[in-house]
């Protein structure tokens, strides 16, 4: 029996899969004419501010990106713990400076003709701050689309 039942099939580790997706995201945005750097630090907070490292970002143009390479579970269920991480990203987007374009880029994962991002929008859209964009991208960074709002 596997030690880690939540290991991404076909990947060395979940962290490795996440880094690969971040690299694909960097490539995707470069193809859109937006050069981003990894671990981009931005001051976030309410009364007190602290540096938060976003997966990707740039000061010119001002943009921060969180990358999530999550899938539906193998049994086709909702990955509840992963959705919690998406909600956490929404909080960080909310407390990031307004001058930044804010993008949640997620791996396109489809079940029963609905992507995980579409599911998130339908069930958790009330937690998405105004102006935050939700994008889906394939694992290679070759194709992607904005699904909410632009």
Q: How much is the pLDDT for 3?
A: 40
The three-point CA angle 22-26-32 to 5° equals 145
- Contact 73/19 with Cβ under 8 angstroms? no
Q: How much is the pLDDT for 15?
A: 61
Q: How much is the pLDDT for 150?
A: 60
Q: How much is the pLDDT for 6?
A: 47
Average pLDDT, 10 consecutive residues per value, the chain (150 residues): 46 67 95 96 96 98 97 88 96 98 96 94 96 94 85
Q: What does DSSP say about strands 62-68 and 101-107: parallel, antiparallel, or unpaired?
A: parallel
Q: How much is the pLDDT for 92?
A: 98
The fold of the 19-148 domain, in CATH, is Trna Endonuclease; Chain: A, domain 1 (3.40.1350)
- Contact 150/143 with Cβ under 8 angstroms? no
């Amino acid at each position: 029996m596997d030690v880690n039942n939540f290991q991404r099939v076909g990947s060395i580790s979940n962290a490795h899969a996440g880094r690969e997706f971040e690299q694909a995201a960097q490539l995707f945005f470069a193809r859109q004419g937006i050069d981003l750097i990894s671990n981009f630090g931005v001051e976030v907070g309410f009364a007190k501010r602290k540096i938060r490292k976003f997966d990707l970002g740039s000061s010119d143009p001002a943009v921060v990106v969180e990358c999530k390479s999550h899938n539906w579970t193998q049994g086709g269920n909702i990955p509840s713990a992963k959705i919690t991480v998406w909600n956490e990203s929404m909080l960080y987007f909310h407390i990031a400076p307004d001058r930044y374009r804010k993008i949640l880029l997620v791996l396109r994962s489809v079940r029963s003709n609905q992507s995980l991002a579409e599911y998130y929008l339908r069930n958790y859209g009330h937690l998405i701050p105004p102006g935050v964009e939700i994008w889906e991208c394939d694992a290679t960074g070759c194709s992607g689309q904005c699904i909410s709002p632009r």
